[in-house]
A and B are shown apart, each in its own frame.
Chain A
């Protein structure tokens, strides 16, 4: 029987490492705003899924990257870094806006950049993965 392990393509690696893991981080970040048992369970499950996914990408047989995939990933990361700087700058204004809109009173929790960390990290990962996919498909 042919049992050779199939290697993970670059696109699958990026899907798992950035888009899937990023989604897990983002879900953790969102449910982290609520201190209830179900949200705690969701937090643990998403964290475990993210760890399993990253471990799988690390140990699996992988397709070697080449100059185009390296360049596209670097470009996607650089673009996301620029956006992140802008969003973080805006992030300082968000707590003020939320306080003004009385959102914090409604959810019963103080919203700060610190507890938005996982959400921001997740969005960064997702954006990097999606941009990489776009560059691979359409160029830039």
Chain B
């Protein structure tokens, strides 16, 4: 089964943003952002789109399946 990967950590660091700040912007807990970054949780479409909106990027530039970078 393909594994969903994210660039959240990289994008967050580039913007000097804390996990908690991003979590508050998209209305989830800090733990959820941590698990997303570590590949331990697959987000809902709504959460993925909310995160994409924060970074002002298309969803597919933040979330991708392993080997499709």
Report the count of interface residues on A (CB-CB < 8 A). 9
Q: Is the CB of B40 within 8 A of A69?
A: no
- Chain B, Cβ-Cβ closest to A63: B29
Q: Is the CB of B28 within 8 A of A139?
A: no
Report the count of interface residues on B (CB-CB < 8 A). 14
A interface, over-half SS: helix
The complex places the Cα of A138 from the Cα of B39 at a distance, in Å, of 10
- Chain B residues with CB under 8 Å of A138's CB are 40
- Chain B, Cβ-Cβ closest to A10: B29
Q: Is the CB of B41 within 8 A of A66?
A: no
- Chain A residues with CB under 8 Å of B27's CB are 66
The complex places the Cα of A139 from the Cα of B40 at a distance, in Å, of 5
Give A contacts to B, CB under 8 Å: 10, 63, 66-69, 136, 138-139
Q: List 10 A-B contacts (CB under 8 A).
A: A10-B29, A66-B28, A66-B29, A67-B46, A67-B47, A68-B29, A68-B31, A69-B29, A139-B40, A139-B41
